[in-house]
C-alpha cells in the first residue's frame, strides 16, 4: 500500500491528524493496533482547552461537542478547609475550558473518517518505521495476522508512550528528559451527578484530590495514592471516604454525593519529553513524544497542538514548496510542550504531598495557594496556562 502520510495510532492525535489532512485534500492511512471498541472505550482525559475545542470545531467535528460538551468558566481550589474560585474568562479575556471526554472526541473522529471513506485500519500493529532519514519512509505492520508494508512520503508517529515510532530516531540524535513522581493517581468514574458544577482541585495533609466530571450524571474523581498502588487495593467505600476527607471545606452546605463506581484505575505520574520530535520524514506527535502528569489536564491538548502544527506545516509545504514550517515543526511544538510541562509540574508539586514532606514543604505549598488567592497576577498566570497556550 502507498500513501502520502502514514499515521501510526488512532488516539486523539492520529485521528485528528487524519481529519485535518482529509480536509486539506492530503491522502493518509491510519494504522491502529487495537480494535474499534477498545479505542472508543479507553478512559482517558476529558478537559479541552479553548484552542482544542476551537480546533475540533474548525475541523468539522464540533457538532456533538457543542451539544453535549460542558463549558466551564472557572475552577475551584481547596486548601486549609478554604475554597477559592478562579474565574477563567475574567482573567484571560474570555477563555474557557470544556468538559468533553476523550472517548467522545475519538468516537466523533472515527465516525467522520469512516463517513469520508478514508482508510483507518484497526488491529493493524506497526512493527517498525524504516528509512525515516530518506524521502521514502515505510511502516512495516501486521494486520490481522499478515505482515504488510505501507510506503509513505511522510510518517507521523501518533502511537502513544509505548509505541514503536520513537525508536526509529537514532539514539545518538535524541535526548530524553524525565521526572517520575513518588506517587500515583487513582482515577474513578461513578454514576452520580457531580457534587459541584466546576472542577475542584484540593490540597490536603493527606494528599491531593480532584473532583471532575464527564457529564451532568457522571462524576470523575482522582486521589493521590502511594506509587505502585493497585486499583483494587482500595474498596469503593474507602475511595469515597478519602475523597470526603480531602475535599472537606468550612461550609456546612457542601456534601460529596456518592454513587456506584463503574471504573477505577491507577496511573503512574511522570513527566517525559523526547527531543527532537522529528527525524527526516518521521514526525512524532502527542504521547509518542511527551508525557505530562494528569494534574494539569494537558496531555490531550498537547496532542492536538502537535497535529494542528504538523497539518499546517505540511499543507504549506505541499502548496508552496517551502519546507520552512516543516523544518520548524519540532522546535515549534517543543516550545509549547515545555510550557505545558512546566505548568503540569507546578500544579502537581503545588497540590500533592510527597512522602517525607516536612512542615516546611507544607508551608511553601500553602503560601503558593494563598498567593493565588491574593494576587491577580499569580491567578492570571494560572488561568492563562490552564486555558491553554496558543498553537
Write out the residues near ligand PHB by the rule CB under 6 A. Answer: 45-47, 199, 210, 212, 220, 294-297
Is 329 designated active site?
Answer: no
126 binds ligand APR (CB under 6 A): yes
What span, in angstroms and rounded, lies between the C-alpha atoms of 296 and 290?
A: 14
Cis peptide before 276 (omega within 30 of 0): yes
User: Which of 98/212 has CB closer to ligand PHB?
Assistant: 212
Shortest Å distance, C-beta 269 to ligand PHB: 11
Residues in CB range of 251: below 8 A, 6 or more apart = 83
131 versus 248: smaller Cβ distance to ligand APR: 131
Task: Judge whether 16 and 109 are in contact, CB under 8 Å.
Answer: yes
Of 138 and 203, nearer to ligand PHB (C-beta) is 203
299 binds ligand APR (CB under 6 A): yes
Residue with smaller CB distance to ligand APR, 106 or 326 = 106
CA distance 155 to 264: 35
100, 181, 183, 386: which is the annotated catalytic residue? 386
Give min distance, CB of 200 to ligand APR, in A: 20
Which partner, ligand APR, ligand PHB, none, binds residue 212 by CB below 5 to 8 Å per kind? ligand PHB
Residue of 5, 6, 7, 13 interacting with ligand APR (CB under 6 A): 13
The least distance separating ligand APR from the CB of residue 122, rounded to whole angstroms, comes to 9
Considering the candidates 279, 290, 298, 352, report the single residue annotated as catalytic.
298
- Collect all residues with Cβ–Cβ distance below 8 Å to 25 and sequence separation of at least 6: none
| Shortest distance (Å) from residue 379 CB to ligand PHB | 17
Q: Which residue lies nearer to ligand PHB by CB, 292 or 334? A: 292
Strands across the sheet with 138-143, in order?
124-130, 138-143, 146-151
Size of the site for ligand APR (CB under 6 A): 27
In the complex with ligand PHB, which residue's Cβ is closer, 166 or 220?
220
d(CA 155, CA 97): 31
Given the complex with ligand PHB, which of 122 and 222 has the nearer CB atom?
222
Q: Tell me the window of 37-45, 80-88, 319-327, 380-388 that interacts with ligand APR (CB under 6 A).
A: 37-45
Q: Which is it for strands 120-121 and 28-31: parallel, antiparallel or unpaired?
A: parallel
**Which residue is listed with cell 461550609?**
251
* 107 in catalytic set: no
CA 189/CA 220 separation, integer angstroms? 5
In the residue annotation, 294 being an active-site residue is answered as yes
Contact map string, positions 152 to 191, toward ligand APR, x by CB under 6 A = ------xxx--xx---------------------------
Active site residue 298: yes
Whether 100 is a known active-site residue: answer: no
Q: Taking the complex as a whole, how short is the minimal distance between the CB of residue 140 and ligand APR, in angstroms?
A: 10
Q: Please identify, among the stretches 27-35, 143-151, 231-239, 379-387, the one whose residues bind ligand APR according to the rule CB under 6 A.
A: 27-35
From the list 201, 274, 293, 352, the catalytic residue is: 201
Distance CA 59, CA 71 (A): 19
Residue 318 makes CB contacts below 8 A (sequence gap 6+) with 26
> Where does this chain bind ligand APR (CB under 6 A)?
8-14, 31-34, 39, 44-45, 102, 125-126, 158-160, 163-164, 286-287, 299-300, 303
> Mind telling me the catalytic residues?
72, 201, 294, 298, 386
Amino acid at each position: 500500500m502507498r500513501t502520502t502520510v502514514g499515521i501510526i495510532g488512532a488516539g486523539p492525535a492520529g485521528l485528528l491528524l487524519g481529519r485535518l489532512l482529509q480536509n486539506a485534500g492530503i491522502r493518509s492511512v491510519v494504522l491502529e493496533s487495537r480494535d474499534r471498541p477498545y479505542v472508543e472505550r479507553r478512559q482517558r482525559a476529558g478537559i479541552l482547552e479553548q484552542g482544542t475545542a476551537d480546533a475540533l470545531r474548525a475541523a468539522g467535528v464540533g457538532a456533538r461537542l457543542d451539544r453535549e460538551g460542558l463549558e466551564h468558566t472557572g475552577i475551584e481550589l481547596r486548601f486549609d478547609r478554604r475554597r477559592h474560585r478562579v474565574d477563567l474568562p475574567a482573567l484571560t479575556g474570555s477563555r474557557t475550558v470544556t468538559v468533553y471526554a476523550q472517548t467522545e472526541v475519538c468516537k466523533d473522529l472515527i465516525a467522520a473518517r469512516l463517513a469520508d471513506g478514508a482508510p483507518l485500519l484497526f488491529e493493524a500493529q506497526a512493527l517498525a518505521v524504516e528509512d525515516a532519514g530518506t524521502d521514502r519512509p515505510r511502516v512495516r505492520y501486521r494486520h490481522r495476522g499478515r505482515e504488510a508494508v505501507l510506503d509513505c512520503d511522510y510518517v507521523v508517529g501518533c502511537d502513544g508512550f509505548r509505541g514503536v515510532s520513537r525508536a526509529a530516531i537514532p539514539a545518538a540524535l535524541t535526548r530524553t528528559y524525565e521526572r517520575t513522581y513518588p506517587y500515583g493517581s487513582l482515577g474513578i468514574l461513578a454514576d452520580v451527578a457531580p457534587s459541584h458544577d466546576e472542577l475542584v482541585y484540593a490540597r490536603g495533609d493527606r494528599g491531593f484530590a480532584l473532583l471532575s466530571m464527564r457529564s451532568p450524571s457522571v462524576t470523575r474523581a482522582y486521589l493521590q495514592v502511594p506509587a505502585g498502588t493497585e486499583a483494587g487495593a482500595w474498596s469503593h467505600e474507602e475511595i469515597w471516604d478519602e475523597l470526603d476527607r480531602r475535599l472537606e471545606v468550612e461550609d456546612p452546605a457542601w456534601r460529596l454525593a456518592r454513587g456506584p463506581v463503574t471504573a477505577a484505575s491507577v496511573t503512574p505520574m511522570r513527566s517525559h519529553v523526547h527531543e527532537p520530535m522529528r527525524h527526516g520524514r518521521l514526525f512524532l506527535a502527542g504521547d509518542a513524544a511527551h508525557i505530562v502528569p494528569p494534574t494539569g489536564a494537558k496531555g490531550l491538548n498537547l496532542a492536538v497542538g502537535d497535529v494542528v502544527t504538523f497539518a499546517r506545516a505540511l499543507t504549506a509545504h505541499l502548496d508552496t514548496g517551502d519546507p520552512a514550517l516543516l523544518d520548524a515543526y519540532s522546535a515549534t511544538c517543543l516550545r509549547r510542550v515545555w510550557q505545558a510541562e512546566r505548568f503540569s509540574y507546578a500544579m502537581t508539586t503545588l497540590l500533592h504531598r510527597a512522602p517525607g514532606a516536612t512542615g516546611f514543604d507544607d508551608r511553601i505549598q500553602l503560601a503558593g495557594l494563598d498567593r493565588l488567592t491574593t494576587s491577580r497576577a499569580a491567578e492570571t498566570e494560572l488561568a492563562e496556562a490552564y486555558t491553554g497556550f496558543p498553537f
